[in-house]
Amino acid sequence: MKPAALAPDYSAFLTDVKSRIQTARLAAGRAVNRELVLLYWDIGHGIAERQRTLGWGEAVVEKLAGDLRAEFPDLHGFSSVNVWRMLQLYVDYSSPEFLSQAVREFGKNDSGKISPEKLSQAVRELVAAVPWGHHANALARLTAPAARLFYLRATAQFGWSRAVLLNQIKAQAFERTKAEKKTHNFAVALPEHFAEQADEMLKSRYNLEFLGLARPMRERELEDKLIGRLQHFILELGYGFCFVGRQYRLALGQKEYFVDLLFYHRFLKTLVAFDLKVTAFEPEFAGKMDFYLNLLNEKERAPDDRPSIGIILCAEKDDVEVEFALKSKTNPIGVAEYQLQSKLPAEFRGKLPTAKQLADVVREVLPAKAARPSASPSSR
C-alpha cells in the first residue's frame, strides 16, 4: 500500500481537508459569537425587566457584576462596564424608536404589519449576527436609530470587521447614503434582488481625502495615487471588494482596451470595473463603460458569475444628464462623484479665514513677536 503522501490524489485531498477545517473554524467562531451576544442580550433584558417591574435601581448592575466574577473567576466579560453595556444593548435595540425604524425598513409582511413578538425576535437575531466587540466599541457610539440599524444590517450582511465598521462610521456612510441620490440603471439592467444588492454596494460619493490631494490632476495620476493607497481605497469602497488589476487588458481582434481599475466583489459574485475621470460626467463615458462591460462579460466573466458592473468615478455629475445617458444601456452602470477635501457646511462658507489669510496673519505676528524685548529676570 502506498503511503498517503505519495498517492496521486493526496495533494487535492489535503487541500480539501484544510479548506473544510477553515470553514468549520469560521462556523464555530460565528456560533460561539452568536451565543455570547444572545447571553449578553438576555442578561440585559433580565436587568431591564426587573428595573421596570420590581423597581430595581442602578446598583444592581454593580452587584451582579461582582457576584458573577466571584462565581466565574476564570471567565472574562463580567466587569461592571461590560454588564452596563449588556443592559444598554438591550435598551437600545428594544426601544420604541428603534423598533419603529425596524418596522419601516424590514419588519413588514404581506399585510403590512408584523406582531411585536416577531419583530423583537427578528431584531434579536440581527443583533446576534454581529460580534460583541462591534456592539461595545462601535455601534454603541451611535444615537440615531436609523443610523444604528443601517450599520447593524450592513455589518451582518457583508461581514465587516470592526476596523471597516469604524471606518464606515467615520466616513459618514449612512449620512451620505441617505442625503445623496445614487445614479445608476441597476433597476432595469439587473434582476430585482441583485439590483437591490448592487445599489447597496454603490455610493453616491466616494471620499478620497486620504490621498492628500488638493489640486487638479491627470487621470493616470489619480489612478497612481489610488493604487498607492489601495488599502484605504478598498476600505472606502466597502467590504467585499477584491483588487484584480489596474489598466486591465481586454483584447478584441487586433485592438486592445484597458479598464482603469478592476475589482471582484466576493458577495455579489461579480466583476466591478472603475473608469476614473477628473472632469465632470459626459454622456460618452457611459458608452465607453457599456463597451467595456460587454467585453468583460464575454471574455472574463466566470460561468457562475453575475453580470459585470461598471462604476464611472468622476469629479462631478448632473443627475438628469446621467439618467438620459444610461437610458439605452443594457449593462448595469453607476455614476458617482469623488471628494478630495471636506466641504464646509453652507452656514460657515465665507465666514472662516482661508489658508492664505491665516498665513498672512502668522507672517505679521511672528516678526512683531521676535522684535519684542524679552523681560529681564528681575522684572518677572
pLDDT of residue 172: 82
- In whole angstroms, what is the distance from residue 199 CA to residue 194 CA? 9
Helix and strand counts by DSSP (H, E) for the chain: 16, 7
Average pLDDT of adjacent 10-residue blocks, the chain of 380 residues: 60 82 81 91 94 90 92 90 94 92 66 74 92 92 91 85 88 76 91 88 88 80 91 86 94 94 93 95 95 96 94 92 92 93 50 48 48 43
Output the pLDDT for position 369.
44
Pairing of strands 270-276, 309-314: parallel
Q: Are 172 and 206 in contact (CB under 8 A)?
A: no
The DSSP letter of residue 108 is -
Q: What are the structural domains of the chain?
A: 4-143 (no CATH), 179-339 (3.40.1350.10)
Burial 184-205 (b: 16+ CB within 10 A, else e): bbbeebbeeebbebbebbbbbb
How far, in whole angstroms, is CA 279 from its chain's centroid?
Answer: 26
Q: Could you tell me which residues are beta bridge partners of residue 184?
A: 334
Helix (H, G, I), strand (E, B) or coil at 12: helix
Rounded CA separation 274/289 (Å): 9
Which residue type does 17 have?
V
**Degrees (nearest 5) of the Cα angle 33, 39, 42?**
140
Question: Residue 232: exposed, middle, or buried by beta-carbon count in 10 A (0-12, 13-18, 19+)?
Answer: middle
- By the 8 A CB rule, do 241 and 218 touch? no
Q: How much is the pLDDT for 336?
A: 94
Confidence at residue 158, expressed as pLDDT on a 0 to 100 scale: 77
Q: What are phi and psi of 265, to 5 degrees?
A: -100, 115
Task: Residue 144: count other Cβ atoms within 10 Å of its Cβ.
Answer: 13
Hey, is 321 helix, strand or coil?
Answer: helix
Say if CB 219 and CB 276 are below 8 A apart. yes
In the numeric block, which cell numbers belong to residue 4? 498517503
Dihedral sign computed on CA atoms, order 244, 246, 252, 253: negative
Segment (H or E) for 272: strand 270-276
pLDDT of residue 355: 45
Dist CA 92 CA 101 (whole Å): 12
pTM of structure: 0.56
Phi, psi of 118 (to 5 degrees): -65, -35
